Structure 1
Amino acid sequence: MISNTDLYDINPKVPTCKASPVHVHSGVPIPKVMRVRVFSPEDWEEFIQEWASSLKTQYDKVRRFGGSGDLGVDIAGFCTDQGFRGAWENYQCKRYDHPLRPSDIWVEIGKIIYYSHIGEYVSPQKHYFVCPQDIGTSLEKLLNTPSELKKKMAENWDKHCLAGITSTTEVPLTGALLSYFDTFDFSVFSSKSLVELIEGHSKTGFHAVRFGGGLPPRPDPEFPPETPAEIESRYIRRLLDAYGEHLGVSMLDPDALNAHTPLKRDYLRQRERFYHAESLRNFARDTVPEGTFGALQEEIFYGVIDVCESSHVNGFERMKATVAQASSVAATSNPLASAVKTQDRQGICHQLANDDRLIWVQEDE
């Protein structure tokens, strides 16, 4: 019979952090490392592709290889324009349901040694192993001790590499290959932890969408330079045409506005709005997937085009009405929504004018 001494009061553990509305809505956040460990094969492949895009700042070129003829190469980072004939580094991203073990990588090391020996490529200056379950302790110890790694590799060659490197022929560790093996620098083999991968991934535009947590703080926009930049020429020309139609005079350049103080103030405000939108474009490039800002521009365009193409007294009134309408376009479905300001929506109108999608002075007026 069960004794009363075996019974305990229900006493849930007190949370180590204060509850917040986010917790109530979405639950306690799952650490990013734990998320990666339960990725499906498809999610892992997508994550690796996204992470690999962060390597483009480190190398001249980054390429992904796949299929049975990959020659031991998964993700290659080329340090020069010579490709596999120059300095390069390899990332072998293995997906297993357990931390990576020595038995998982013998054939991969064998491929690098064999194919660099026969001249398919020069030996990589670094070869990193990556796994969603991270690197096991026994393998990490071997990778940190090149001499022991070399010894164990020789012991396991026949079992894992003799028939495992290529399906067309056996590859015995003898003769010239053995001599090459003996001089091979095993310190090139190393690993990347999940924490390191996630840190690299955080520098891509895919991070917030995949892991959540919101967008990082947005930098303040640049203040417009006194002399307009080349990227402003098109929309400024359209602004001057709109001001000119309003006044009934020709506006050759912004200096013509010096005699019209209200319009000069308006001109300066429009330039500030344009630079706000350019700042958002740059922010989007680094924080959200490609095409996100373009989708926001498209939403603003369809939110204002009917107003823009309606009848107006002149181009200046059309521009003012269109920019005012842009302020009311919510764009809440866009991933950038939390970072978008009123000035951004207004400034996007001038980006669209730069692209000839919004025109203030209509030919039929």
Structure 2
Amino acid sequence: MIQAGAHAPVAQLRLMDATSWEIFVEECCLPLAGNTYQTVKRLGMPGDKGRDVEAIVTLPRKQHGWDLYQCKYYKGPVAASDFFPEMAGFFSHLARKSYPEPSTYFICAPHDCGVDLYDLLVSEPEEFKADFLQAWVDGNRGLKKNLTPEIKAVVESFDFSRFKEMSARTLVEMHAKNQSAHFRRFGIRPKRLDDPAVPRSPTKREQKYVEALLAVYSEHAAHSVDRNGLTGSDYEEHFSACRSEFYSAEGLKRFSRDIFPGEFDAFLATMLTTVKSTVSLPTHKTGLERLCAATERSYQLKMADSPLSESLRSPDMPGACHHLANTGKLSWVK
């Protein structure tokens, strides 16, 4: 969902400057860090040796163990005459052993590659290589006649299929996986995914609210009710429903953690203010009455000003009460 006033991502790409474009490409690669890549770093600055963004598969960096993302921010498509000088600089650095050969050299541009460069990229690699070498020898397509034998040897040994276009559309798809950055940059609210599954048995982190529920059941039954005593009891279904509510709110917490930092805590704080006076009414004599009053009151909470409002689900409301009980901020049995 795109927030009101925001432009579609591909349109916004064309409103950036060269520095913002490099940062954007780095953000596209960051979701791959820890999986496809061990490290991702933007290097676009003086002395970067023709590497705007470097993504390394494993450290130390090895031959064909990293990818180079070259960011070309132009007002139109990248032509061969724009890119050939970049290639010349790249091969010069390979000849000087500034770094090992990358696995892939990605060309990243907001308007993509022009037809002439695209045709070379999808042609037979040897044809692309021959065209490039001839242009360098002749001093055409933006190149000067300064091809040395050492650099020519590097060019001739290089596999030109390693040069690839990374389209703007593909970059946006990659960037969408970096949800917090995608929201900040484009105003696109990510979709809340399924909530975490409820474990068969309560985990250690559920201990406090589970104990609070068992205390409610024990008071109501007038005898001790522990977890083993729930099976087949009048409280089994209620206990299961409460745990589902807790994990619904947990899903909201996980969804908001990186995209809306601090908002889940604000949600809990507002919920505490909303239900506290109801829970503390002296007319409630039992823990069950307090618990039911709190969960019923929780559904009346309105969060229109919260960025979480459009992502709330009904079970989040009572689930928030269980989260508050789990931190000791709400108690049922006096």
TM over 0.5: yes
Mapping of 1:352-363 within 5 angstroms?
A: 352-354=324-326, 356=327, 358-360=329-331
Is 1:117 aligned to 2:95, yes or no? Answer: yes
- Residue aligning to 1:200: 174
The partner residue of 1:346 within 318, 321, 332 is 318
Cα 1:271–1:99 shift into 2, 3 Å: same
Unaligned stretches of 5+ in structure 1? 1-21, 163-170
Is 1:141 aligned to 2:119, yes or no? Answer: yes
Is 1:301 aligned to 2:279, yes or no? Answer: no
| Rounded Cα–Cα distance in structure 2 between residues aligned with 1:342 and 1:317 | 21
**Alpha-carbon offset, residue 244 of structure 1:** 4.5
Cα 1:357–1:302 shift into 2, 3 Å: farther
Q: Name the amino acid aligned to 2:40.
A: V
Mapping of 1:44-63 within 5 angstroms?
A: 44-45=21-22, 47-56=24-33, 57-63=35-41
Cα 1:35–1:59 shift into 2, 3 Å: same
Which digits, 9 at most, give the CA deviation of each residue in 1:205-249, with x for residues without a partner?
A: 154665567654744x46634422444334323433454466676
Comparing 209-218 and 132-141, the one that deviates more:
209-218
Secondary structure at the counterpart of residue 233 of structure 1: helix
Residues 303, 325 of structure 1: 8 Å contact kept? no
Is 1:254 aligned to 2:227, yes or no? Answer: yes
Residues 64, 103 of structure 2: 8 Å contact kept? no
Comparing 46-55 and 190-199, the one that deviates more:
46-55
Cα 1:213–1:75 shift into 2, 3 Å: closer
The partner residue of 1:275 within 227, 244, 247 is 247
**Alpha-carbon offset, residue 72 of structure 1:** 1.8
Cα 1:74–1:264 shift into 2, 3 Å: same
Residues 94, 100 of structure 2: 8 Å contact kept? yes
Tell me the matched-pair count: 323
Structure with more relative contact order (C-alpha pairs < 8 Å, separation 6 or more): 2
| Rounded Cα–Cα distance in structure 2 between residues aligned with 1:247 and 1:43 | 64
Unaligned stretches of 5+ in structure 2? none
| Rounded Cα–Cα distance in structure 2 between residues aligned with 1:108 and 1:249 | 79
| Rounded Cα–Cα distance in structure 1 between residues aligned with 2:104 and 2:306 | 40
Residues 74, 93 of structure 1: 8 Å contact kept? yes
- Residue aligning to 1:37: 14
Mapping of 1:311-326 within 5 angstroms?
A: 311=280, 313=285, 316-326=288-298
| Rounded Cα–Cα distance in structure 1 between residues aligned with 2:117 and 2:44 | 24
TM-score by length of 1: 0.71
**Alpha-carbon offset, residue 276 of structure 1:** 1.8
- Residue aligning to 2:107: 129
Residues 78, 86 of structure 1: 8 Å contact kept? no
Is 1:96 aligned to 2:74, yes or no? Answer: yes
Residues 88, 125 of structure 1: 8 Å contact kept? yes
Residues 326, 345 of structure 1: 8 Å contact kept? yes
**Alpha-carbon offset, residue 101 of structure 1:** 1.6
- Residue aligning to 1:189: 163
Cα 1:193–1:256 shift into 2, 3 Å: same
**Alpha-carbon offset, residue 63 of structure 1:** 2.6
Residues 89, 126 of structure 1: 8 Å contact kept? yes
Which digits, 9 at most, give the CA deviation of each residue in 1:160-209, with x for residues without a partner?
A: 677xxxxxxxx953243332222122221110112222222333315466
Which digits, 9 at most, give the CA deviation of each residue in 1:69-121, with x for residues without a partner?
A: 22222222322343355611111122111111223223432333233333332
Cα 1:351–1:311 shift into 2, 3 Å: closer
Q: Name the amino acid aligned to 2:14.
A: R
Is 1:105 aligned to 2:44, yes or no? Answer: no
Residues 79, 87 of structure 1: 8 Å contact kept? yes
Cα 1:176–1:46 shift into 2, 3 Å: closer
Cα 1:319–1:49 shift into 2, 3 Å: farther
Which digits, 9 at most, give the CA deviation of each residue in 1:140-166, with x for residues without a partner?
A: 12222333443454434878677xxxx
Comparing 146-155 and 269-278, the one that deviates more:
146-155
